[in-house]
């Protein structure tokens, strides 16, 4: 059932990474790309061997790793050449390419849409990693015509890459991505955009919260224009919903201080609940880590020393965040650890001379 | 001109930190609080000495460090007792307490509103730090009646604490905070709240972007209800503006793919520009750091070893972020460094056996 031969069309980050992941598992990989330099690099990295001529032998599975807008025409092309038994793609938008493929007359019984959700990818075969998909969700979006054999073959391929198959239909996928990926991008960009006509004194007052919320506002406008193009309607719905939520909260605040405060309290409480649903590490539900805040001087090696001391105590730091005050020679580093280890970590660090703050309940004088 | 004696009313985090900062500079500090245990702790920490009885000697400056809703009545009380020459406060809302003080008949010629913007405070005197204000903005909001002598005295006090005085009128302060602090909180909470009625399969697809955007959604609903109460109108205006921006983008996406893509591109580009205005470290404009992505195994000490190796190369890591894939035994750590040092860092880390990714331009197959 697992495909033993795969033709990867498009040797960018995703295509090359799939090649690396499968080559290591004994699968025969053929590589092609309209750019011969990319195929050569992918092949040299060990992702497979370039096809000779335009086609190559017929394989168990053809994986189309091209931009969303080119998936449908590429599917038609490789099906016309009869390059494979089963076909899949990796584009981050699913409904539109599928509709286009249907319109163009592709054989959808042997096609399964796919989308490896592999984090913030940067481009090109040189960035490829055999472990890119380890433990990451990989959405499988079968068409209504897709045969169960085709679905099982692609599912096996995804598992072979170390990813976690998640079956969703194309529309549900696009709606989900609109909410959890495309809407956050819009919000971050709009918030950051508000700073362009804000006076410098105001901008100067910005703290870590605003920084967290606008980090992804550094993204590439052209890349996002493509995504918006491919997912316009679901994204419009998600943004419209959030706009209505915001307008409702604004109206409550306008109606009076008491009403506004009550509405704001309810929103923050609902946010607490929603946040708790985000997956934590290792696929578990979000663990509420304990925080150990430590003062760290802003010089080479200071943060390293801190983590060495934590490591020597055998305590795994799950995450950390740095808070910099403009102009300050010291920063506050918050170490996130399993709650059971927080006290021990604080004790060890204090003993090693670190200034460890002890978190208490929120104070009302801030 | 610099106050040589200060009476701090309210020994929470801010009050006690001011005491610690000024005690070290030879200023006489008196402490009072309705909770005798808090005064005792603040005093033991070296923040000053408790006043005997309810009043104590007349000081150069009385600093009122109580919640926003209590500032006005406290100002009246201490002015009636004639405790000081000049008066200030540290509440995070400025207009409302000032209006209330005026209504109650306070002498505003000797009063200057203040707000040290000292990051994510956690509560209580035990969390206090002499260096809490180092390099941080401290807003001074004089009233129309405030004398220049009073303003200069408070400005000197703020400088003595190591903070950067930023003069704004009360309304401008509240409008600024609504935009850069209170609106981000509302957005983060509303985004996170949307996850409560989202199916588990969708939530499972969440990546680092959504995590960044919802981190502050873990905040305390009661604390934020107070802030919303104190700043309802400016906050309503800021939220209404953002709601309109979102609705406009949603409408463009609804109108057609081309229009939607163009609008989204423009929003992301505007966000790039706004983000660039955020202050960087040491008061400088946001430096565009270079990123060095490194694969780190999820075990105690791995991150420490990485930073030790960076430190040994004499390279200062300005910031870092960790990307965890659910279920993955390895994570991607992005080290943010001065662009000039990125290549050297990548070389050193590669030499030490780390798997360093080389960032390239964005790829279109993600």
Please write the tens of the pLDDT for every residue from A176-201. Answer: 999 999 999 999 999 999 999 898 88
CB contact under 8 A, B328 and A357: no
Q: What is the mean pLDDT of residues B249-268?
A: 97
Which chain B residue is nearest to residue A174, measuring alpha carbons?
Answer: B202
The alpha-carbon gap from A267 to the nearest alpha carbon of chain B, in Å, equals 6
CB contact under 8 A, A300 and B310: yes
Rounded to an integer, what is the distance from CA B196 to the centroid of its chain?
27
Q: What was the ipTM of the complex prediction?
A: 0.73
Close Cβ partners of A262 (under 8 Å, ≥ 6 residues apart): A252, B225
Decide if pLDDT at B358 tops 60: no
Q: What is the pLDDT of residues B288-303, one digit of tens each?
A: 678 887 877 767 678 8
Q: Are B253 and B300 in contact (CB under 8 A)?
A: no
Beta-strand runs (E) in chain B: 5-9, 28-32, 49-50, 59-64, 84-89, 111-116, 137-142, 164-167, 290-297, 319-324, 330-337
Give me the residue from B188, B249, B323 closest to A213, CB to CB. B188
CB contact under 8 A, B268 and A224: yes
CB contact under 8 A, A329 and B134: yes
Q: What is the pLDDT of residues A157-181, one digit of tens each?
A: 999 999 889 999 999 999 999 999 9
Beta-strand runs (E) in A125-163: 137-142
Which chain A residue is nearest to residue B288, measuring alpha carbons?
Answer: A218
Token pair for residue A32? 């092609």
SS3 content of chain A, % helix, strand, coil (to 5): 50, 20, 35
Token pair for residue B128? 């206090």
Q: What is the mean pLDDT of residues B337-344?
A: 86
Which chain A residue is nearest to residue B115, measuring alpha carbons?
Answer: A366
Beta strand pairing call for A49-50 and A28-32: parallel
The alpha-carbon gap from A141 to the nearest alpha carbon of chain B, in Å, equals 13
CB contact under 8 A, B205 and A256: no
Three-state DSSP at B259 gives helix
Q: Are A315 and A345 in contact (CB under 8 A)?
A: yes
CB contact under 8 A, A119 and B207: yes
CB contact under 8 A, B164 and A327: yes
Q: What is the pLDDT of residues A247-294, one digit of tens each?
A: 999 999 999 999 999 999 999 999 999 999 987 633 333 456 788 878
The alpha-carbon gap from B146 to the nearest alpha carbon of chain A, in Å, equals 21
Contacts of A137 in chain B (CB under 8 A): 204-205, 326
Give me the residue from B195, B251, B328 closest to A277, CB to CB. B195
CB contact under 8 A, B195 and A274: yes
Across chain B, mean pLDDT equals 87
**Measuring CA to CA, which residue among B203, B198, B114 is closest to residue B164?**
B114
Contacts of A180 in chain B (CB under 8 A): 195, 198, 202-203, 205-207, 210
Which chain B residue is nearest to residue A272, measuring alpha carbons?
Answer: B218
pTM of the model: 0.72
Sheet holding B84-89, edge to edge: B49-50, B28-32, B5-9, B59-64, B84-89, B111-116, B137-142, B164-167
Contacts of B198 in chain A (CB under 8 A): 176, 179-180, 277
Q: Are B13 and A365 in contact (CB under 8 A)?
A: yes
CB contact under 8 A, B194 and A242: yes
Q: What is the pLDDT of residues A42-91, one digit of tens each?
A: 898 889 999 976 556 899 999 999 988 899 999 999 999 999 999 999 99
Give me the residue from B203, B322, B328 closest to A319, CB to CB. B322
Across chain A, mean pLDDT equals 87
pLDDT in the model for residue A296: 78
Contacts of B124 in chain A (CB under 8 A): 360-361, 363
Which chain B residue is nearest to residue A164, measuring alpha carbons?
Answer: B327
Residue A282 per-residue DSSP state: G
List residues bridging with A82 in a β-sheet.
none
Give me the residue from A119, A172, A273 closest to B208, CB to CB. A119
Close Cβ partners of A207 (under 8 Å, ≥ 6 residues apart): B117, B119, B120, B180, B181
Three-state DSSP at B116 gives strand
pLDDT in the model for residue A298: 67
CB contact under 8 A, B210 and A184: yes
The alpha-carbon gap from B45 to the nearest alpha carbon of chain A, in Å, equals 14
pLDDT in the model for residue A311: 84
């Amino acid at each position: 059932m697992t495909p033993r031969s795969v033709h990867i069309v498009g040797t960018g980050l995703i295509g090359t990474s799939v090649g690396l992941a499968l080559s290591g598992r004994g699968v025969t990989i053929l590589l092609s790309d309209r750019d011969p330099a990319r195929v050569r690099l992918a092949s040299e990295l060990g992702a497979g061997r370039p096809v000779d001529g335009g086609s190559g032998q017929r394989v168990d599975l053809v994986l189309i790793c091209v931009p969303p807008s080119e998936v449908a025409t590429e599917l038609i092309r490789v099906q016309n050449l009869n390059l494979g038994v089963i076909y899949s793609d990796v584009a981050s938008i699913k409904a539109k390419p599928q509709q286009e493929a249907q319109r163009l007359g592709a054989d959808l019984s042997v096609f399964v849409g796919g989308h490896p959700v592999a984090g913030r990818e940067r481009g090109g075969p040189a960035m490829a990693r055999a472990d890119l998909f380890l433990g990451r969700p990989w959405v499988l979006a079968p068409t209504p015509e897709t045969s169960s054999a085709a679905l099982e073959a692609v599912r096996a391929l995804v598992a072979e890459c170390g990813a976690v198959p998640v079956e969703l239909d194309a529309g549900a996928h696009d709606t989900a991505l609109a909410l959890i990926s495309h809407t956050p991008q819009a919000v971050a960009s709009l918030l950051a955009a508000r700073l362009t006509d804000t006076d410098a004194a105001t901008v100067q007052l910005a703290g870590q919260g605003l920084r967290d919320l606008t980090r992804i506002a550094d993204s590439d406008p052209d890349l996002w224009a493509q995504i918006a193009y491919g997912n316009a309607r679901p994204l419009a719905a998600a943004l419209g919903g959030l706009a209505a939520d915001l307008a409702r909260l604004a109206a409550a605040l306008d109606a009076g201080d008491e009403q506004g405060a009550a509405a704001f309290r309810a929103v923050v409480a609902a946010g607490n609940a929603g946040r708790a649903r985000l997956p934590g590490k290792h696929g578990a539900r979000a663990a509420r880590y304990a925080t150990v805040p430590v003062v760290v001087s802003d010089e080479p090696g200071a943060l390293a020393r801190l983590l060495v001391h934590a490591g020597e105590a055998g305590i795994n730091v799950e995450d950390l965040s740095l808070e910099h005050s403009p102009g300050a020679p010291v920063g506050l580093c918050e170490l996130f650890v399993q709650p059971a280890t927080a006290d021990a970590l604080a004790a060890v660090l204090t003993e090693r001379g670190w200034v460890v703050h002890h978190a208490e309940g929120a104070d009302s004088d801030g």
